Amino acid sequence: MEWKLFALRAGLATLAGLIIGLERETQGKNAGLKTNALVALGSSLFILMSLEFEGEKYVDITRVLGQIVVGIGFIGAGTILQKGKHIKGLTTAATVWCSAASGCLAGFGMYIELAIISGIILIINLVFGYLEDRLKKKKNMEDED
């Protein structure tokens, strides 16, 4: 692979991870900018390396996708904590999982899809995070009455 194409794909994966991680960072979550950027970058690098073997005998480059999903599950599991009846970190784990998927899109050169998915992830975390907070506050106010 030409180094310019490699740099473009790795750079876009990192940028997508930074954009996705920005919201988590502003919310004070442990897995923020750096984590999401590195997860997206790492995922794209594994895809880019697997593409080097495309077309060779007895090689299935899509197996790398499955391994990324399994591997990222361990990182995501580390962000989930249980405190009594409450579970924290599920959204952060899901966001890290989506960052890995974004990195895969970048690695495969699916630029439009990468932009769309990065935007959707950001909207989900921002808009629905805001709505979730509002609903929780409303519920707490009702519980106090």
For residue range 85-128, list pLDDT tens digits in order.
Answer: 888 888 889 999 999 999 999 999 999 999 999 999 999 999 98
Using CB atoms within 10 A of its CB, is residue 134 exposed (0-12), middle (13-18) or buried (19+)?
Answer: exposed
The answer to whether the CB of 48 falls within 8 A of the CB of 1 is: yes
The answer to whether the CB of 46 falls within 8 A of the CB of 107 is: yes
The token pair that represents 93 in the structure block = 């784990």
For residue range 77-96, list pLDDT tens digits in order.
Answer: 888 888 888 888 888 899 99
Neighbours of 57 (CB within 10 A): 5
| Residue percentage of the chain with pLDDT more than 90 | 55
For residue 120, what pLDDT is reported? 95
**Which structural domain, as residue segments, surrounds residue 39?**
3-144
Q: What is the mean pLDDT of the chain?
A: 91
Query: Domain tally for the chain?
Result: 1
Phi, psi of 87 (to 5 degrees): -115, 130
> Of 23-27, 69-73, 97-101, which has the strongest mean pLDDT?
97-101
